[in-house]
Amino acid sequence: MKTKSVLLIGLGRFGKYIAMKLHELGHEIMAVDENEERINDAMPYVTNGQIGDSTSETLLKSLGVKNYDICIVTIGGNFQSSLETTCLLKELGAQKVVSRAEQDVQAKFLLRNGADEIIYPEKQLAIWAAIRYTSDHILDYIELGDSCSIFEVSVPQAWRGKSVVEIDIRRKYNINIIATKKNGKINAVVTADTVLSGEETLLVLGQYNALRKCFDI
């Protein structure tokens, strides 16, 4: 994976978790927050830290925002600051701006004022939790668009010992098994003759409504 330079603005709980994961992935991180304690807490995970107000054009100019591969705005609880920061980043030539939203109306304003993409953690986690914990088979899922998703599912009892061609979910539901996963390792080589033991989980791709019918969600 190519190392990227990231300007991370806002080190609340969500921002700190992003910093930790970016650090784990080996990226270079410049973190900005008004709170000195938050900056100090994040220093083990970031390349550099700056205490300051991200709505200050002078501060953002001094950081050279156009030199970062991506700018992530995770300010929570102060939408005005988030909006002003997002707008300033784009005006100063930021290559890509990803901003956090807590409501649909915030997402609309951020997109209109410089955000290239929106992070909507509360909404995204709520949808994930509702699907994950009301199903007997769903272990994880990724929404790819309005109608298409990838689900990680346990193998239903009725499928165990059968091959992919025997369960025939591609013809019945237009769902594709794109990989299997066992002990944390993904095997992307799945053929019609692959026999399902039940010890693995399946990564399946299809329209959400078809997945709901197939896995009785």
**pLDDT (tens digit, 9 = 90+) per residue, 164-190?**
999 988 888 888 888 999 888 888 888
Write out pLDDT tens, residues 111-126.
999 999 998 888 777 7
Closest to 151 measured CA to CA, from 163, 169, 165, 167: 169
Residue range 84-97: mean pLDDT, rounded: 96
| Cα 98 from Cα 18, distance rounded (Å) | 12
The CA distances from residue 17 to 24, 42, 80, 167, 190, in Å, are 11, 9, 23, 41, 34
What is the pTM (predicted TM-score) of this model? 0.70
Residue 135: CB atoms within 10 Å: 18
How many Å apart are CA 171 and CA 113, to the nearest integer? 45
Provide the token pair at 50: 């700056």
pLDDT score of 122: 80
The mean predicted confidence, pLDDT, of the chain is: 89
Distance from the Cα of residue 33 to its chain's centroid? 22
Both structure tokens of 3: 């190392």
Q: How confident is the model at residue 146 (pLDDT cuts 50, 70, 90)?
A: low
